[in-house]
Amino acid sequence: MDVVIAKSAGFCYGVSRALDAVLSAACDKRKQMYTLGPLIHNPQVMSKLAEHGVKSVGRVDEVPAGSIIVMPSHGVSESVMTQAAEMGLEIIDVTCPFVSKVHRIVGSLTKAGYQILILGDQGHTEVQGILSKAGNNAIVLSDASDLAPETLRKRVGIVAQTTQTVHRFSELVSAVSNHAYEVRAYNTICNATSDRQRAALDVAQHADVMVVVGGRNSANTRRLAEICAEANVPTHHVEVADEIEADWFEGARTVGVTAGASTPDWVIEAVISTLKAM
Ligand code: SF4
């Protein structure tokens, strides 16, 4: 049985950078470290962090004085940052540079007097962070159909949450252009998600069975599994190699493997070794 691995699979740049920063800081045991929310949507990584004494909290005010707080890779709002600073906590900010770039763009557009439109999920922390850099007239839209033309100012700046699709973004830009006098649109979508989706489909199209590796709580891993299943390939989503069952591969000549952006290499490698040993 041939095992083919997707060209783009596993940790994206931002997640890898965040984990490296936290693990290296965790070696210094001077202070207790807390991540604001799970650092990565992967139970194996969270267990590894727990072994290093790193804990996770839901809110800044749950962190005891004198501790370290880690701000997540998708960023936080300015008020969360201020609260942590006012509590005297040591802050490790692992906001992905692609997300920080959206903050900078929104900050400068707001300063220049543009109304900000954000394509994204209103309840997501990343969007709350972006929104905190925008002025009072900012609007969050989940797609072009949410647009209410009467709410638009003359000068509008548009950005997207990094995980949005280009298709949705261009639909929104086109809809806004029909109503606003001046539109400045910045495609702030990160390619990590679309690269993994395209690579998963490439492999699935030539595989008899697909194995998708990653946390069940990871939205991007679940989406990869959906894409493979939609290509009519029997697809199995596993978190670890132990879950693999031999009878999934009866009569299969080629098995494809892919993994979400939050899946660490050591978990992917264990899955590949198990498959190759079959
Ligand atoms: S998906 Fe993109 S924006 Fe998000 S953490 Fe990874 S590299 Fe950064």
Whether 229 and 205 map to the same domain: the answer is yes
pLDDT given at position 89 = 97
Residue 233: its pLDDT value, please?
Answer: 98
Q: Indicate whether 183 and 200 sit together in one domain.
A: no
d(CA 110, CA 113): 5
For the question of residue 243 being annotated catalytic, the response is no
How many angstroms does the Cα of residue 158 sit away from the middle of ligand 1? 19
Q: Which atom of ligand 1 is nearest to the CA of 73?
A: 5
- What is the structure's pLDDT at 222? 92
Same domain assignment for residues 259 and 229: yes
- Is the domain of 163 the same as that of 178? yes
Q: Taking the CA atoms of the chain, what radius of gyration do you get in angstroms?
A: 21
The count of domains in the chain is 3
Q: Which of 126, 226, 230, 250 is catalytic?
A: 126
One digit per residue, pLDDT tens: the chain, 278 residues?
999 999 999 999 999 999 999 999 988 777 899 999 999 989 999 999 999 999 999 999 999 999 999 999 999 999 999 999 999 999 999 999 999 999 999 999 999 999 999 999 998 899 999 999 998 899 999 999 999 999 999 999 999 999 888 899 999 999 999 999 999 999 999 999 889 999 999 999 999 999 999 999 898 999 899 999 999 999 999 999 999 999 999 999 999 999 999 999 999 999 999 999 98
Taking the C-alpha atoms of residue 22 and residue 25, their distance in angstroms, rounded to an integer, is 5
Whether residues 116 and 40 share a domain: the answer is no
* Cα(46) to centroid(ligand 1), Å: 18
- Residue whose pair of structure tokens reads 């069952």 in the numeric block: 245
Looking at the structure, tell me whether residues 184 and 102 fall in a common domain. yes
CB 192 within 8 A of CB 13: yes
Q: What is the pLDDT of residue 244?
A: 98
Residues 117 and 178 both lie in one domain: yes
78 and 149 in a single domain? The answer is no
Cβ 13 under 6 angstroms from ligand 1:
yes
Give yes or no: residues 88 and 112 share one domain. no
CATH number at residue 198: 3.40.1010.20
> How many CA within 13 A on the CB side of residue 50?
9
| Ligand 1 site-directed mutation target among 95, 98, 163, 194, most atoms within 8 Å of CB | 98
Residue that finishes a domain, picked among 52, 70, 95: 95
Segment (H or E) for 107: helix 97-111
Q: Domain check: are 84 and 26 in the same one?
A: yes
Domain of 209 in residue numbering reads as 2-9+192-276
Residue of the CA atom closest to atom 5 of ligand 1: 14
Å from CA of 149 to ligand 1 middle = 31
Q: What pLDDT does 165 receive?
A: 85
